[in-house]
Structure 1
């Protein structure tokens, strides 16, 4: 089948302003439905909208080892996804604070897909043979994913408040301020438990009034409240769907951690990590943690 011949069409210099449906329809009519291939000025609208030139200039591997580029790019992809996850968590928390349960459930649905995409980065990194990784590992120096401030903010937004793990950022004031803000803000789970109380669940007042910056102890009244949601409500009820949406998210994060552990063990065995940790032994302990703990233990009451 003969492909249509693109028309040569020149647009003015890229304009990041808005375009309407009517303008897009008029443009498609003027080009016969073919894409515009020529633009005035030093850039294109897509480069400017996505900052593509800046983005693609940020890959700076330290060695000539071929496997370092996929390692490097996947690390940056993870950081972008951490940022997206954190911003989505903030919005979900706001929706819960406003008792917009349906909106929060819908947002959790999308967030789980983002976490699945994040988990998929380990599928790429798992293709690095030990010899390929060792060819550039020394160039990492003391750099470690443990120092990722966006991931730390994600953990804090999920409710895993470990203040000591904010310490790597003490010497970077702008970063430390962001991490500190995430540490001190209520988590998504804090917002969900507060919502349960507003919906009539009998929650221990000490749990509702606790300092959100500290570790969150397990609470029997929260466990019973989630068990009642499962026992008394149908799967079509928004609170039931919220419980399952939160468990979906927690499970997704646990899968990410588990694959992290397996990928590291496959690549370096039991050697110490670059950031001073014991490596696999440290990750194994971390992978045993569960976000939203009472949602998991409530199953034992059903």
Structure 2
């Protein structure tokens, strides 16, 4: 044991960055770490801001992965898409863990700065809406909160013109078990309605999975993803209920009632239904 201070430069570590790329430069940390602007003197407002900013960063990555997974699946390249979908599931695991930190804020803590939020609410997150749209939970009525931002509205409207991730999965399912035209030619911008024909088609894949490994694994990747997504929704609900009870949300939603209703929304309904029918 020695008390001699350790100098990384002696082992070749780069210590001078004048005019060279540094860690702070590469990650653009200056704008990121200066983007927190509490509107009150409440201690816990910083927690609230960072919780939501980091969630948006994770959703940025989820969108990156989901977009790539869909494009890869459209080309019929299953294996890379499986890795991307697994990553998205783990992203939502990270988002779930973040609620544990926010739950250290008590109702009294939140009351001190809640008025400073004005009408802003997570309900208005365009990235969250894009995630839902890509996964297939599409509702054109949800475009309205973004009408004041033509750039964000355009992104959401464009997404509604594309097949959802589940639509792409169904197109592959159709190659093995023909699906009704009404499923294949439906208006992709509208909410997806469960179909018994689709349930039976997926059940066929599960019953003979040895012959349909790629579709079988795709189905399980989707279920895994929705499982983590549901947990995130549930933890969102319980966190909100713990902090504000049954009050209305800052954005005017019914608060916990709205979030509880979202728990009943299934992204890939037939993949859950078939578990009863098998």
Distance 1:61 1:274, change over 3 A: same
The secondary structure found in structure 2 opposite 1:278 is: coil
Distance in 1 (CA, whole Å) between partners of 2:239 and 2:211 is 36
RMSD: 1.7
Residue in structure 1 matched with residue 272 of structure 2 by the alignment: 296
Distance 1:7 1:76, change over 3 A: closer
Distance 1:4 1:234, change over 3 A: farther
Distance in 2 (CA, whole Å) between partners of 1:176 and 1:236 is 39
1:236 Cα offset (Å): 9.0
Task: From 147, 153, 175, give the equivalent of 1:170.
Answer: 147
Does residue 217 (structure 1) correspond to residue 193 (structure 2)? The answer is yes
- Of structures 1 and 2, the one scoring higher in RCO (CA 8 A, sep 6+) is 2
Distance 1:288 1:53, change over 3 A: same
TM superposition outliers: structure 1 runs of 4+ over 3 Å: 1-5
Distance 1:235 1:65, change over 3 A: farther
Distance in 2 (CA, whole Å) between partners of 1:221 and 1:236 is 18
Distance 1:5 1:236, change over 3 A: farther
Deviations 1:166-190 (A, max 9, x none): 1111121111111111222111101
Residue in structure 2 matched with residue 22 of structure 1 by the alignment: none
Structure 1 residue ranges without an equivalent (≥5):
9-30
Distance 1:216 1:60, change over 3 A: same
Instruction: Say whether the 8 Å CA contact 1:119–1:255 is kept in structure 2.
Output: yes
Higher gyration radius (CA): 1
Name the count of aligned residue pairs: 277
Deviations 1:108-157 (A, max 9, x none): 11111111011111111111111001111110111110100010010000
Residue in structure 2 matched with residue 5 of structure 1 by the alignment: 6
- Correspondences of 1:241-260 after superposition (within 5 Å): 241-260=217-236
Distance 1:137 1:37, change over 3 A: same
Residue in structure 2 matched with residue 12 of structure 1 by the alignment: none
Does residue 202 (structure 1) correspond to residue 178 (structure 2)? The answer is yes
Distance in 1 (CA, whole Å) between partners of 2:5 and 2:156 is 53
1:238 Cα offset (Å): 2.2
Residue in structure 2 matched with residue 110 of structure 1 by the alignment: 87
Normalising by structure 1, report the TM-score.
Answer: 0.88
Normalising by structure 2, report the TM-score.
Answer: 0.95
1:97 Cα offset (Å): 0.7
